[in-house]
């Protein structure tokens, strides 16, 4: 698609889904930020922004920038979705409001207070086990041994999922987030891996497979009350699971890497474990687990002197917004004492991540447990990135913890 005449913005030949870009996106983020508040990425025919103010404006305006046409590159107004649309992520009001209201109620502050004890006990136990291995001279993997293990334990526990087969959630999530990009090799490989587990996912979203009283069962109780249909309930459980695991897995992995690469900040955290929440927020800002999301214009939109035609895909670079020097002093610096409020890692507006309160709880509890026991994190091998069209992820991170 050629750039419309009404969009007098810099045109750039950057592929945000190329292997090189996904491995290290930040230099190109800076190029786009410096080019202007908006750029046209001619390879895909999309309008894009890397600046904090514009990213926030788009994500906050659900009337002019809709989600029901898909939050990825594909335009569901012009092609069929690859799977039934998410009731929460790929919906607009009033449909989105129905689903969001249910999940917001389930994840209320009262509910989070009730799960905190279990989440805390699991964090303490896991960190103790890993530290014991380090004391015995073993190398642990920050991804395989912690960042994947903890969210796959505590969040599906809260949803009411049985223990067996939870690794399937990682395969499913990898495919879902790859599907927000083009139909490239990353998506193809992810789809091949997930094909055998799709039936498992949907089977375990059925009511009879979920523990009574868990988050999943509460969704079905909402269906009993007529807030959603019983056909929609398993789809909402599916969205809940896919959104509640991958982002936290990668958020924890990125936080560990930041602390390993910045020993001065790990020293501060060890000296004051109360900085755990702040450290997690700063790592989310610096290394956003979710890097991008799309919106679509449902009609002609006039914005900042631009006239954006209907059905234009708009790419918001959340990770780039989080390193915008217009918003953050020394944005490339990892500073756990920074007030990182306002970062876009969880989005904003009515589509802001509904599970962010649980993700923040998990991040705080894990980092606090580490801070009280560990004085230094040492990488003993090169961390390996797992490229994904949407996520900033890793597949392995060999390390040792130096006990306090």
Q: Which residues pair with 20 in a beta bridge?
A: none
Q: φ, ψ for residue 391 (rounded to 5)?
A: -95, 150
Q: Calculate helix-pair angle for 109-135, 149-159, nearest 10 degrees.
A: 150
CB 115 within 8 A of CB 143: no
- Find out whether 16 and 25 touch, Cβ atoms under 8 Å: yes
DSSP secondary structure, 240-295, as one string: HHHHHHHHHHHHHHHHHHHHHH-HHHHHHHHH-GGGHHHHHHHHHHHT-SB-EEEE
Sheet holding 140-141, edge to edge: 140-141, 398-403, 374-379
The C-alpha atoms of residue 114 and residue 103 are separated, in whole angstroms, by 16
Let me know if domain 11-403 sits in CATH 1.10.287.130.
Answer: no
Report the alpha-carbon distance of residue 93 to residue 397 in Å, rounded: 41
- What are phi and psi for residue 53, nearest 5 degrees? -60, -45
Q: What is the bridge-based pairing of β-strands 39-41 and 46-49?
A: antiparallel
> For the segment 95-145, what is each residue's pLDDT rounded down to a tens digit?
999 999 999 999 988 888 899 999 999 999 999 999 999 999 999 999 999
- pLDDT for the residue numbered 292: 98
Kindly report, residue by residue over 294-338, the tens digit of the pLDDT: 999 999 999 999 999 999 999 999 999 999 999 999 999 999 999
Task: Tell me: pLDDT of 243 over 80.
Answer: no
For residues 172-188, give the mean pLDDT: 95
The answer to whether 209 touches 162, Cβ cutoff 8 Å, is yes
* 207 contacts: CB under 8 Å, gap ≥ 6: 216, 217, 220, 233, 234
pLDDT confidence of residue 187 = 95
pLDDT of residue 332: 97
Per-residue pLDDT, 240? 83
Q: Tell whether pTM > 0.85.
A: yes
Cα 153-288-341 angle, rounded to 5 deg: 100
Under the banding of pLDDT at 50, 70 and 90, the label for residue 239 is confident
The DSSP bridge pattern shows strands 140-141 and 39-41 to be unpaired
Q: What is the mean pLDDT of residues 199-205?
A: 92
Give the span between the Cα atoms of 283 and 115, in whole angstroms: 24
Number of H helices, E strands in the chain: 15, 12
The Cα 247–Cα 353 span in angstroms is 10
> Residue 291: is its pLDDT beyond 90?
yes
Q: What is the percent of the chain with per-residue pLDDT over 90, rounded to a whole number?
A: 89
Domain spans of the chain?
Answer: 11-403
């Amino acid at each position: 698609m050629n750039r419309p005449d009404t969009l007098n913005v810099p045109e750039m030949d950057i592929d945000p889904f190329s292997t090189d870009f996904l491995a290290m996106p930040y230099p190109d983020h800076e190029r786009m930020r410096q080019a202007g508040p908006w750029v046209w990425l001619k390879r895909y025919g999309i309008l894009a922004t890397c600046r904090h103010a514009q990213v926030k404006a788009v994500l906050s305006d659900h009337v002019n920038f809709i989600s029901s046409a898909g939050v990825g590159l594909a335009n569901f107004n012009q092609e069929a979705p690859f799977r039934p649309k998410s009731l929460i992520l790929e919906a607009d009001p009033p449909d989105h409001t129905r689903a969001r209201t249910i999940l917001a109620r389930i994840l209320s502050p009262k509910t989070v207070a009730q799960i905190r004890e279990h989440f805390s006990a699991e964090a303490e136990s896991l960190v103790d086990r890993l530290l014991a291995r380090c004391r015995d001279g073993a190398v642990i993997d920050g991804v395989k041994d912690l960042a994947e293990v903890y969210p796959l334990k505590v969040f599906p526990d809260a949803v009411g999922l049985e223990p067996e087969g939870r690794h399937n959630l990682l395969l499913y999530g990898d495919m879902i987030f790859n599907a927000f990009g083009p139909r490239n090799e990353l998506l193809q490989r992810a789809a091949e891996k997930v094909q055998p587990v799709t039936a498992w996912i949907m089977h375990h979203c059925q009511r009879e497979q979920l523990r009574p009283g868990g988050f999943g069962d509460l969704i079905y109780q909402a269906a009993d009350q007529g807030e959603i249909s019983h056909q929609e309930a398993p789809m909402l459980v599916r969205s809940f699971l896919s959104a509640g695991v991958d982002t936290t897995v990668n958020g924890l992995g990125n936080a560990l890497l930041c602390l390993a690469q910045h020993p001065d900040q790990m020293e501060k955290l060890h000296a004051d474990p109360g900085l755990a929440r702040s450290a997690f927020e700063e790592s989310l800002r610096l290394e956003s687990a979710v890097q991008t999301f799309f919106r679509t214009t449902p009609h002609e939109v006039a914005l900042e002197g631009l006239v954006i035609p209907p059905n234009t895909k708009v790419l918001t670079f959340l990770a780039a917004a989080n390193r915008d020097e217009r918003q953050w002093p020394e944005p490339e610096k990892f500073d756990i004492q920074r007030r990182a409020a306002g970062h876009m890692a969880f989005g904003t507006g009515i589509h802001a991540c509904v599970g962010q309160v649980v993700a923040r709880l998990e991040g705080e509890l894990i980092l606090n447990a580490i801070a009280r026991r560990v004085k230094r994190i040492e990488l003993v091998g090169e961390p390996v990135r797992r490229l994904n069209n949407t996520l900033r992820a890793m597949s392995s991170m060999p390390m040792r913890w130096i006990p306090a």
